[in-house]
Structure 1
Amino acid sequence: MAFALTEEQNELAATVRHLLARRSGSGAVRAAVAQAPGYDEGLWRTLSEQVGAASLAVPEAYGGAGFTLVETHVVLEQLGAALTPSPLLGSGVLAAQALLLSGDGEACARLLPGIAEGTRLAAVCWAGEDGRWRTDRSDVRAVGGDTWSLSGTTTLVLDGVAAHTLLVVATSGPGRVGIFEVDATDDRVRRTSTPAMDSTLSLARVEFDGAPATALALDAAGRLATLHDIAAVAVTALQVGAAQRALDMTVAYSKDRVQFGRPIGSFQALKHRMADMLVEVETARSVSWAAAWAAARREPELPARGALAKAWCSEALNKVASETVQLHGGIAITWEHDAQMLFKRAHATSQLFGQPHEHRQRLFRQTFGAAPR
């Protein structure tokens, strides 16, 4: 059995890659992150209207294209290679899937068409003050019954400042967590941009002070576990794209940089190091695609494949980015060179939705029923 992208998926990848080559070069990326909202709004409109990036994994019944998370994965990998900042991960994947998993058909019918079009941005408020995405409790408390209000603080909210709608994970009762919808513009919601190591990721701290909310799901621990797996797998697509970019940059530089009268790429020791980089990229891509396939079909293997992919791809990108800096020499640590951006992307995404050691522990528990000692 051949496991590879279909002809249509390859065409999708090529379309996005060519678009980003024209409109998301190094200068464009730096200009986009230097001003609000932290991404190129014109490029996002093109991705949404002409490519349908945010609609790919949204069912047709809710205004989407009716494809799967695999197609979204293809787009994310290209965005990762270009280091393009966009709301696709936060709104098009995390928020859209949170709505679908909530099981609230009315909320899906009301919110998903705008998210699919890219005209409505939604953000999931989940991580607590400790920067962890938990499924058993939350630092935000929901109070009410017929009507609900939220109080508390959440951190590391992707695209939290630019979002129109907030989907909040909050404690909904003893031992229960739920998903709630909040109007981001309400005056009882305070949003503060949080500087990130990776400037292409737009993060926010969101504080709720009795903010009115609509309950979408009151006992959502199991659904949040699935959402966490989906989010972790989506991050691996960005990591694989960045790793491929780092490898390509390094190979190209090794052909141009001359030392001792010959290109440095002709030295056997450096060839071996770049061959090792290639192995890291290709193995990371394989585990990432396998996890995306499981996520798209909600396979029982998703938790294990998601944990494996996030741990493997995080460490692979860290290794490849480090080698990129080493093999480029002194210019790689200058602000003007993109190698430092790839290095920061590696370290930032390795923390997003769980560090590698946390996912290895999850994988061990799923395999053997207990955590390693």
Structure 2
Amino acid sequence: MDFGLSEEQEQLQQSAREFLSRECPPVFVREVMRDADGLPRGFYQKLAKLGWPGLIVPESFGGLGLGMLDLAVLMEEIGRAVMPGPFFSSTLATLAIAQAGTATQKKRWLPRLASGDALGTIAFIEEGDRLDAEGITTRAKLARGVYHLNGTKLFVTDAHVADTIVAAFRTAGKGEQGVTLFLVPRDAPGLAIAPLPTIDQTRRVCELTFNDVEVPAGAVVGKAGDGWKRLARVLDAAGILLAADSLGGAQQALAMAVDYSKVREQFGRPIGSFQAVKHMAAEIVSEIEPARSLVWFAAYAYDAKPRDASRAAAMAKARLSDVYMRAADRGLQIHGGIGFTWEHDMHLFFKRAKWNELAYGDPAFHRERVAALSAW
């Protein structure tokens, strides 16, 4: 029984690792963190030349036409490098348009998103931080062929640089019925975008205030009132991709800690020779390896076994959030005081681990989802 990646996926993994090692070292990550927009445009164009933004875009729209497992392999390497910028958020918008958009929307946006000429994001979280359909209370009212959008969206990743925003509003009903997705341009009259504090400066988040923003009926993604099941599918992808990002970050945090333990000496010997330090590292690697299977299965199920995808995505997101936080925490402990300094790179991984843990549902939320989807 083969649980490994295909030859093509291994090549993608290796080429991504080499590229990011060369083009995205920690010093570059820090430069982007200090940048006002957090958007390394030249770097993003290099990603576009490699085809990364179009990885899951159909070939007919200028993409590579690959699947979620391929994207998860790439996200693992992105997490290993703590890669900054809007790749993750734009990928979610790309998925939403590819899966639910009209023919006109796909023709207009997918080639631009795949080439890196445009960026996107999704907006759905509101006050209360709920991740279910009941949490969407902002209203969109149709009048004379035009929708009027009002309300506030929170924690919208990279909205300040997105060209199009896939935003969820309620057009009718309650619960899952009556949620509609809209494509809203960043510069739409009446839309105010304000930055929010974030623990991880490699991923910016914003508050969006819609004050009677007008969009045509053609801005509806798919069909009016049919948006929740489309959005839920994208949120499953978000969980899988963050789990993959966490998998890569956890491995790198462990590797850094082990390397440091071999050169840092106390009492005349490397600290890695002490049993307590060995056991810390062994504990983390013992958690990482089985967690890898969760990520890969969730990514595989997303395309091949859709009925299992939501449950698998929730398991992967919950478990990898825990694993990454523990790996980053143990890494800090092994490094000691130097690990807590701004000059050391370990804090980059700790901050990304915390961001991944909280974004798109914390571990407790996803464990509740696993229980509900298992009919427990």
For 1:182, the equivalent position in structure 2 comes to 184
Partners in 1 of 2:248 and 2:303 — Cα distance? Answer: 19
Opposite residue 227 of structure 1, the aligned amino acid is V
Structure 1 counterpart of 2:269, from 255, 262, 266: 262
With normalisation by structure 1, the TM-score equals 0.95
Partners in 2 of 1:313 and 1:187 — Cα distance? Answer: 40
Q: How far did residue 61 of structure 1 move?
A: 2.0
Q: How far did residue 298 of structure 1 move?
A: 5.0
Which consecutive residues of structure 2, in runs of 5 or more, have no partner in the other structure?
A: none
Partners in 2 of 1:147 and 1:4 — Cα distance? Answer: 51
Aligned identity (percent) is 34
For 1:226, the equivalent position in structure 2 comes to 233
Opposite residue 75 of structure 2, the aligned amino acid is L
For 2:15, the equivalent position in structure 1 comes to 15
* Length, aligned pairs only: 367
Opposite residue 41 of structure 2, the aligned amino acid is E
Which consecutive residues of structure 1, in runs of 5 or more, have no partner in the other structure?
A: none
For 1:215, the equivalent position in structure 2 comes to 220
Structure 2 counterpart of 1:102, from 100, 103, 106: 100
For 1:2, the equivalent position in structure 2 comes to 2
Q: How far did residue 259 of structure 1 move?
A: 0.8
1:108-128 CA-partner distances (Å, limit 9, x unpaired): 111111111111001111111
Given that 1:91 and 1:123 are in contact with CA atoms closer than 8 Å, whether structure 2 keeps it comes out as yes
For 2:339, the equivalent position in structure 1 comes to 332
Further displaced range: 127-136 or 145-154: 127-136
Structure 2 counterpart of 1:311, from 308, 311, 318: 318
Given that 1:139 and 1:154 are in contact with CA atoms closer than 8 Å, whether structure 2 keeps it comes out as no
1:181-225 CA-partner distances (Å, limit 9, x unpaired): 111112311111122111111111111111122212322222222
Q: How far did residue 306 of structure 1 move?
A: 0.6
Secondary structure of the corresponding residue to residue 156 of structure 1: strand
Given that 1:240 and 1:281 are in contact with CA atoms closer than 8 Å, whether structure 2 keeps it comes out as yes
1:140-174 CA-partner distances (Å, limit 9, x unpaired): 21110522121111011111000111111011112
Q: How far did residue 269 of structure 1 move?
A: 2.3
With normalisation by structure 2, the TM-score equals 0.94
Partners in 1 of 2:305 and 2:269 — Cα distance? Answer: 52
Change over 3 Å in CA distance of 1:192–1:298 after alignment to 2? farther
Opposite residue 9 of structure 1, the aligned amino acid is Q
Partners in 2 of 1:242 and 1:323 — Cα distance? Answer: 13
Partners in 1 of 2:236 and 2:103 — Cα distance? Answer: 22
Given that 1:325 and 1:332 are in contact with CA atoms closer than 8 Å, whether structure 2 keeps it comes out as yes
1:12-71 CA-partner distances (Å, limit 9, x unpaired): 11111111111211111010121132032211111111x210111111122211111211
Partners in 2 of 1:41 and 1:133 — Cα distance? Answer: 31
Further displaced range: 245-254 or 213-222: 213-222
Question: Is residue 2:168 matched to residue 1:169?
Answer: yes
Secondary structure of the corresponding residue to residue 205 of structure 1: strand
Runs of 4 or more above 4 Å deviation: none
Opposite residue 212 of structure 1, the aligned amino acid is E
Partners in 2 of 1:2 and 1:136 — Cα distance? Answer: 42
Secondary structure of the corresponding residue to residue 5 of structure 1: coil
Partners in 1 of 2:343 and 2:209 — Cα distance? Answer: 36
For 2:206, the equivalent position in structure 1 comes to 204
Partners in 1 of 2:116 and 2:87 — Cα distance? Answer: 9
Opposite residue 329 of structure 1, the aligned amino acid is G
Change over 3 Å in CA distance of 1:82–1:271 after alignment to 2? same
Secondary structure of the corresponding residue to residue 166 of structure 2: strand
Partners in 2 of 1:363 and 1:69 — Cα distance? Answer: 20
Partners in 1 of 2:101 and 2:351 — Cα distance? Answer: 37
Further displaced range: 97-106 or 57-66: 97-106
